[in-house]
A and B are shown apart, each in its own frame.
Chain A
């Protein structure tokens, strides 16, 4: 409490909106758990079959790459500059703003999609007689309050949530061990390596959602401030392993492939000492924090980027319309030619990978090339 109070005091004295690097990474970590629970390990099991429980090992490579890109995006632009500045500097003001506009549209749509899937998860897993509009409305209202606040406040919330989530994941892992059946995990042969790598693709895609948090890098406080990207990526891979191994071990790959929210299905079947059971509502309730942080961050990001596109300084002018559009996206996202399954398994992962990973990597490469050319000209 004293620590939080001191941090609040520091920020108040400085009078500017800032976010510590550690908070930024905490936000990114908590946020990725929201899409992770939707696709992992189901989509991984669809691609990788039984061998998917080893995919987190393969995901270490992806985590190293994503960690490197995130680190570069945060630090490459320099002080008081973020990924948005890097994009506009590299692509020029017009193309840069067009690309930022694409990001804004994507963040708004994705916020709506996250809202929708979170509400559906609550209804299908706990509140079976609940009404979707009520959940959507309430969740949007709560996230809107956070999205209109300071980035640092959301970062602090994420920071506080991390140990709670980590503790729950460790507890779930320990509690699930007696229910794991070796037949569901073995045998695995070297020939299964392609399946293991395929299973790691959704994990890489999910980890990719961390990179857009580099758009907030212009608000970060100077200094490393406990934000070692390596440590956060290790925590991320560990969390994905906890979401995968017990589920495959307790439910088997075929059941995992055929069910939604398989981590919660697995939790439903955990019994401790023949007396503690049905613990899944607690974890499902806790997971709302991840949806809340991610949706609020996406709305905040869309507002933040909008201020870079048009000359309006107040972010919240854009956040409120973004929230309304997100609500519309949440309501209508399964009304078109794509159903939620297609959106979840194909459209969202492909678009997310492109905008969250491929584009920042290309921008970084272009920036590096531009710098190299500049140096060459100077030398000549």
Chain B
């Protein structure tokens, strides 16, 4: 290689380095951001507005304790609103690549969320990992404002909810990818619902966000809810159960149980190519977490009675959850998937498609609850007694 060629090659390499520095606007990346000038947006709230969409963006509390910020923008579409926000604050530019939550107001959810899910899937800055949450009875933007203070915001509350909701048996988070896949496959999905409540239960107190059951979406539109009282049972049916507490009452005493293990097994019953029934066998294990009063009954009898009472309660809740979804004519719980997994060949050979069959199908739930560590079952610790160490 001649000296001239070498010099030209070296100069070309040096010229490329100039493009990579980012100094004085020489970067080739047209959407580059200086890190100190960006505000990472953690939660997007979406509501309907006269122009189309009202977007509320929350930054959450900063790592160094800086108070959260809310940004609001109305536009014809979600993409336009985000685009406007990105270009409105040059000194503190909202940055959406690490967004964690998409909070949808109830009215917006009723109108349909498919186009927003499509945007999340297509946009290079968004991710399908974003948790999808519906606000019950309110607008997302209003709730985001209500719960925000100097020290906390909707993003921090949703972060806590996501971390604990399954352990509390209060629901489970669904991300945009899962919701999109279910909507594309079966037309139905179920996402976490939340509500804003007063922190200490009194009016005028600080508001906080709590899990509030599940929002049911069919063809992208909100069709109903499964209440928070059914959340633990729904988690069992959907295979997302981690833990839950349940208060069980019989004629004589009340006991609080902590469920640590529960699973559901789906057994389809076919006659020829016709699915006539689905049997759901649920088995659960629980520990006594709180015994309210001393019982005079025999230990084994009381134990069986508590197990039976808990099983009946769970069975009733599960039947109710299934009945609600059947009434809304959609397999929101994903029972069809479980039935297919149980006997794939028979499922595909069915005369009537699952979607048509589901609303009138007989689904029989049987629950078996086993109590562990029952030595403190019939005598609460504070009352002492002869049953300890049994």
Contact = CB atoms under 8 A, between A and B. Distances in A.
Interface of A: 124-130, 181, 183-184, 186-187, 189, 191, 250-252, 254-255, 258-259, 265, 268-269, 271, 277-278
Given A189-B348, A254-B185, A258-B121, 17 more contacts: A181-B178, A184-B181, A187-B344, A189-B344, A191-B345, A191-B348, A251-B128, A252-B181, A252-B185, A255-B177, A259-B121, A259-B122, A265-B128, A268-B127, A269-B127, A269-B129, A277-B98
Top 9 closest A-B pairs, CB basis?
A254-B184, A187-B344, A252-B181, A129-B30, A269-B129, A129-B31, A269-B128, A268-B127, A269-B127
Given A191-B348, A269-B128, A186 B341 contact: yes
Interface string B223-262: 0000000000000000000000000000000000000000
B277 interface: no
Nearest to B175: A269
A366 B122 CA distance: 48
B63 to A, nearest CB: 13
B30 A255 contact: no
A322 B31 CA distance: 33
B97 A278 contact: yes
Contacts of B178: 181
Nearest to A258: B184
Contact of A128 (B125, B344, B348): B125
Most chain-A CB neighbours within 10 Å: which of B29, B124, B340?
B124
A127 B122 contact: no
A186 B340 CA distance: 9
A124 B123 CA distance: 8
B267 interface: no
8 contacts: A128-B124, A184-B181, A250-B177, A251-B177, A252-B184, A265-B128, A268-B127, A271-B129
Contacts of A250: 177
Interface string B92-125: 0000011000000000000000000000011011
Interface in B1-21: none
Contact of A124 (B124, B128, B129, B348): B124
Contact of B180 (A126, A186, A255): A255
Nearest to B122: A259
A294 to B, nearest CB: 22
B337 interface: yes
Contacts of A191: 345, 348
Interface of B: 29-31, 97-98, 121-122, 124-125, 127-129, 177-178, 180-181, 184-185, 337, 340-341, 344-345, 348
Contacts of B340: 187
A25 to B, nearest CB: 28
A254 B186 CA distance: 10
Contacts of B180: 254-255
A255 B181 contact: yes
Contact of A127 (B31, B121, B184, B185): B31
A291 B185 CA distance: 34
B337 A128 contact: no
B96 to A, nearest CB: 11
Given A191-B348, A252-B185, A128 B177 contact: no
A250 B31 CA distance: 28
A88 B317 CA distance: 78
Nearest to A130: B30
Nearest to A128: B124
B177 A269 contact: yes
A348 B356 CA distance: 40
B345 A189 contact: yes
Contacts of A268: 124, 127-128
Nearest to A188: B344
B267 to A, nearest CB: 16
A88 B185 CA distance: 53
Contact of A183 (B29, B337, B345): B337
A78 B101 CA distance: 63
A254 B181 contact: yes
A259 B115 CA distance: 14
Most chain-B CB neighbours within 10 Å: which of A125, A268, A278?
A268
Contacts of A252: 177, 181, 184-185
